[in-house]
Homo-oligomer: A and B are copies of this chain.
Amino acid sequence: MKSKTVYFCAGWFTDKQNKAYEKAMEAIKNNPTVDVDNSYVPLQHQYKGLRVDEHPELLEDREWSTATYNGDRVGVQTSDIILAIYIPEEEDVGMGVELGMAKAFGKYNLIVIPDEDWGKPINLMTYGVGDHFIKLSELENYNFNRPSFNFYEGAVY
| A residues adjacent to B (C-beta < 8 A) | 2, 35, 37-38, 40, 45, 52-53, 59-60, 62-63, 65-75, 77-78, 91-108, 121, 123-129, 131-132, 145-151, 154-157
Contacts of A92 in B (CB 8 A): 91, 93, 96, 123
- A124-B69 in contact (CB<8A): yes
Per a CB cutoff under 8 Å, which of B38, B53, B60, B125 touches A94?
A: B125
Q: Which of A91, A128, A157 has the most CB of B within 10 A?
A: A128
Q: Which of A65, A132, A149, A157 has the most CB of B within 10 A?
A: A149
Per a CB cutoff under 8 Å, which of B60, B66, B146, B149 touches A155?
A: B60
Question: In the complex, A88→B65 CA distance in Å?
Answer: 16
Q: A67-B149, A71-B149, A93-B123 are in contact. List 8 more A-B contacts (CB 8 A).
A: A52-B157, A62-B151, A74-B149, A77-B108, A97-B129, A99-B100, A100-B103, A103-B104
- B65-A127 in contact (CB<8A): yes
Contacts of A69 in B (CB 8 A): 124-125, 127-128
Contacts of A68 in B (CB 8 A): 124
Question: In the complex, A154→B65 CA distance in Å?
Answer: 11
